[in-house]
Amino acid sequence: MKYYILFGPPGAGKGTQAGAMVERYNLCHLSTGELLRSEIAAGTPLGLQAKSLIEAGNLVPDEVVEGMIESKFASTKGVDGFLLDGFPRTIAQAEALDAMLAKTKEEVTACVSIMIPDAMIHERIAKRALIEGRADDAKDEVVQNRINTYHAKTEPLIQYYKACGKYREINGVGTIEEVRERIFKTMD
């Protein structure tokens, strides 16, 4: 089983590229954002808690996200692997993922990181807010908080996966097709 982590700042194009990656490599896309949005839409207690945190630009507690991911690993059949999008976001989550996979003698295959400059993050997220109507993308201060959170808590994962020899950086500037070809070349 393959376990890919799709990594990069908010607005880097992870959601845009994930579908093609899933199709080409027969992967199950596990987007913590989509999992949480479905909980929010269903109005579950987890969804209501997550909604208030997300709207403030904060992250949902680790144990909640880890439980959702582990459950999906166990219940998903007929795929060659998983594409994790939005998890892990911290060193603690990466260590939890390693421990989770070790239970079944598996490990992370690679961390595929789509990188773009901060100015482009603001531009892309503003556009996404208009197109998708995502309230969590509409306020500049929330977007800036997400960028600051990414730099402080998520960027340390670059060194974590480099140390494991599993970090693969993709230049996320260019057309969707150009970025996709870079990703495929790296994954192949």
β-bridge partners, 29 = 83
Catalytic residue among 2, 37, 72, 134: 134
Catalytic residue among 51, 124, 146, 182: 146
Asked if 168 is an active-site residue, the reply is no
Asked if 182 is an active-site residue, the reply is no
Catalytic residue among 14, 51, 124, 182: 14
DSSP code of 151? I
Beta strand extents in the chain (DSSP E only): 2-7, 27-31, 81-85, 110-115, 167-171
Catalytic residue among 89, 124, 180, 182: 89
24, 128 Cβ separation under 8 angstroms: no
Which amino acid does the sequence have at 182? R
Catalytic residue among 51, 128, 180, 182: 128
List the structure tokens of 11: 């607005």
Rounded to whole angstroms, the Cα distance separating 37 from 185 reads 31
Residues annotated catalytic, as ranges: 14, 89, 128, 134, 146
